[in-house]
A = this chain, B = another copy of it.
Amino acid sequence: MIDYQEVLSRYRPTQEEENKLKIISDDIIRKINSICRSRGLRAEAVIVGSYAKGTNLRDGDLDIFIAFDRDYPEEIINTEGLHIGHAVIPNGREKYAEHPYVSGEIGGVKIDVVPCYKMSFGDKKISAVDRTLLHTEYVNGHLDEKGRDEVRLLKIFTKSIGVYGAEARTFGFSGYLCELLVIRFGSFENVIRYFSKAKGRVLIDLDERFRDPMVLIDPVDPDRNVASPVSLESLSRMKIASKMFLSSPDEGFFQIEHNGKNVQYHDRGTCIMIYSLPKPDLTDDVIYPQVYRFRSVLQKIMESHEIRVISSEIDVSDRIYVLIETPACAEERIRVHTGPPVDTDNAVDFVNSWKARDRSRGPYIVADRLYVDVFTGQRSIEDIVRQEIFNYSIGKNLDRFKKSMEIMKFNVGMKSLPVLDKFFGADVFRK
């Protein structure tokens, strides 16, 4: 059996940390409210996020919203929000979500001060940030002290198996989703039991508008699926982790920090190429979709040369890395070139033009389509990618780095790289 109290004692904030968070947050709230009064603003500070809901883990952040009356125009809350943010966080940096906000650190605690509109249940929603106020209210109204620790256990479990976080890096379970799951099913173990038995799409709420792998409707906004970021992979990981945990409960499912496991690079008799770009100074949610696109462009280039992709991996650390594994490092001598379907107007031209050209064989027909086997120049994959990457967009922030793309060919003796560690260490869970 797992000693849940022991697990919690490792990851729940210490009394000392709680005291510090309280002192810092009380202080900031006092300052914000005082500034609002002195500037005659109808606005007040609100603590949100996991600290406000009592579901925070050790070394967490503080999220403080400045909630403005709803009749202020957007420009006012933007400029006043930044002004107040800078006033309460010395050396804070401006960031941008739905409104601009100020982010910084006080006494070792990461703090965001974000302006928003005051909301009540049933109000027409203004933005995701505004909705957060209602989430805090809802969770505090539905979780007792015991429930908060159950949420903490679920967060630790999902972190441990690599499915915690809704952002593009993970496409997993948000903190709010963990809270709603515990509210819905009553306890951490009930949630795990539920996922261990789930088959196919996980429809906790039946709502045909959503085609996501998992659906749980936001109790404060019936038009929103809280589980919509959860990818099929993350859901699969959660299902099998739940089964494995129930069949043999293991402390390993409550280990957020994994020792870098001993990954052995070895020869797979294949060609592993690593494409690397500088990492722009942008948030994960902006970078990751472009990294996925970069990978899919590389896969498309391989496909267009009939080069089979065996596997791939991505990593965003000091730089952006995409790994593509293929059977060999150059094109094969021949390539099956796919022509038009026979029903198209240019089918005859295809046949006539290829009959006059150098080729291995064909044109010939398979099913309803024309093909011809052509001789390739047996170019190296590196040459092909260096040339053809310019025919594709890999996202507005990455496109300008195409020229400085670095291409490495894996060999067993090469220096360690996170993308290679991820590739060779591929696991059911991202431990």
Contacts and interface: CB of A to CB of B under 8 A. Distances in A.
Nearest to A345: B243
Interface in A319-364: 327, 332-334, 336, 342-343, 347-348, 351-352, 360-364
A106 to B, nearest CB: 40
A270 interface: yes
Contacts of A269: 332-334, 378
Contacts of A190: none
A361 B424 contact: yes
A327 to B, nearest CB: 6
A158 interface: no
A368 interface: yes
A425 B361 contact: yes
B364 A334 contact: no
Nearest to A268: B334
A360 B426 CA distance: 10
Interface string A119-154: 000000000000000000000000000000000000
Nearest to A426: B364
Contacts of A209: none
B236 A270 contact: no
A420 to B, nearest CB: 11
Contact of A364 (B347, B364, B427): B427
Contact of A365 (B240, B244, B334, B343): B240
A362 B270 contact: no
A326 to B, nearest CB: 11
A367 B247 contact: no
A244 B348 contact: yes
Contact of A347 (B243, B268, B310, B336): B243
Contacts of A334: 268-270, 310
Interface of A: 198-200, 232-233, 235-237, 239-240, 243-244, 247, 266-270, 308, 310-311, 327, 332-334, 336, 342-343, 347-348, 351-352, 360-370, 373, 378, 423-428
Nearest 3 CB-CB pairs, A to B?
A269-B333, A364-B426, A236-B342
